[in-house]
Structure formats: structure tokens, C-alpha cells
Amino acid sequence: QKEVEQNSGPLSVPEGAIASLNCTYSDRVSQSFFWYRQYSGKSPELIMSIYSNGDKEDGRFTAQLNKASQYVSLLIRDSQPSDSATYLCAVVENRDDKIIFGKGTRLHILP
Amino acid sequence: SQTIHQWPATLVQPVGSPLSLECTVEGTSNPNLYWYRQAAGRGLQLLFYSVGIGQISSEVPQNLSASRPQDRQFILSSKKLLLSDSGFYLCAWSVRDEQFFGPGTRLTVL
């Protein structure tokens, strides 16, 4: 069964520090990888997509992908209290386009 | 730009009552559409997805059903709600492989 694993947290990070969120996936043929942010009581919001090995940067966010290790991570630089949320990792196999979500990591930025 | 609408935003229903949740997408044609449920403190559970009008695939056996009467309309229904149907219901659309979620409907079954 295809799985996406995340540490449920909570992960507590001081304001201004780097938050590092990790995700592993079971299916080697996965090609597309996503990070969603979900505030309490709200729907998930897509914040990063990554398709190739290496790093992809967007503002304070950096997604890192290592297909050989089946590992994807999200770094948040200069963490702000507004970054406190649950972060969902998601993976797609191109064969059937079903997206598999992890259960999410709760991130708490300490003021 | 694309927009996805869901209504109602919140709903409180008694056990055994029917359910109808509606989702509409604007600004895109022939999207893939999805219904998810997120129970309190749990992950996203894919309930149904549709690649076109009248084409529905069910992921989890349950007392829910889905229909897609128009290209950009997706409806989730139940004839008789159970207590276990409580949760946060999310509609999503995708073109290629990125998925975008609607605002969700919070359903409480009493």
C-alpha cells in the first residue's frame, strides 16, 4: 500500500529560526511532490510543488527532494508566528494521478 | 483565475437525515474533481473522484454517494447520515497533478 509518512509533531521552533519538516514516501515511481499548509479550521493551501531532485526555493520556503532516498522536506526560513499550522506532504504517481497525503506535521512557532 | 465554491460552510444534521453538499468550480474546463473527508485530528480521506460528467469513482465503501451532473459541479449526498459521517468535507479540483481545495463544509451529525 502506498504511504506518505510524516512526524505528527508538534514541532516547536523559535521565531526567526529555520523550521524543517520531513516526509518519506513508499512508492519509488512517484514523480510529483507537494507541500500544503492547513491552518486550524481551514482547508489545505498548496504552497510548494517539486518534481526534480534538488532544492526549489520560493521566498522563505525551500522544498528539497531526494528520489533515491524517497525523501522530501520543507524548510521555512525566518519562521514567523503566522507559519504555525499543520503542513501536509503529498505525492502523486503519474500513472493514475491519485494524490496521496500524509497525515501532516503540526508546526508551532514560539514568539 | 480559478475559484472553487462549497456550500454550506457549516451544517448540523440529525442522524438518519439526508445530506447534499455542493461544489462548483469556476475558471477552468474539464477539471478532475474530488471529495475528501477529514475527521477531527485525522488525515485526509479520499471519498470520490471524477474525471468527467457522470464519471464517478468511489474510494471507500460507505453510505455516501457522489454525482457530477455538469462539468464544473460535484455533489456529495447521503440518504441517511450516521454519527461517523461527522467531519470536514473538502472538494478539490485538479488540472494535471496539482490539487486545489475549496473552503470546506464542516458537518456535525447529532
User: How many angstroms away from the CA of B51 is the closest CA of chain A?
Assistant: 11
pLDDT under 50: residue ranges of chain A:
none
A102 — contact with chain B (CB < 8 Å)? yes
- pLDDT per residue as tens digits for the range A46-57: 999 999 999 999
Cell match 531532485: residue? A53
pLDDT(B83) > 70 = yes
Interface test with B, best of A6, A29, A43 (most B CBs within 10 A): A43
> Burial, B83: exposed, middle or buried (Cβ in 10 Å; 0-12, 13-18, 19+)?
exposed
Average pLDDT, chain B: 93
Contact list, A103 vs chain B (CB under 8 Å)? 42-43
Provide, as residue numbers in chain B, all residues whose Cβ is less than 8 Å from the Cβ of A32: 97
Q: How many CB atoms lie within 10 A of CB A74?
A: 23
How many CB atoms sit inside 10 A of residue A67's CB? 16
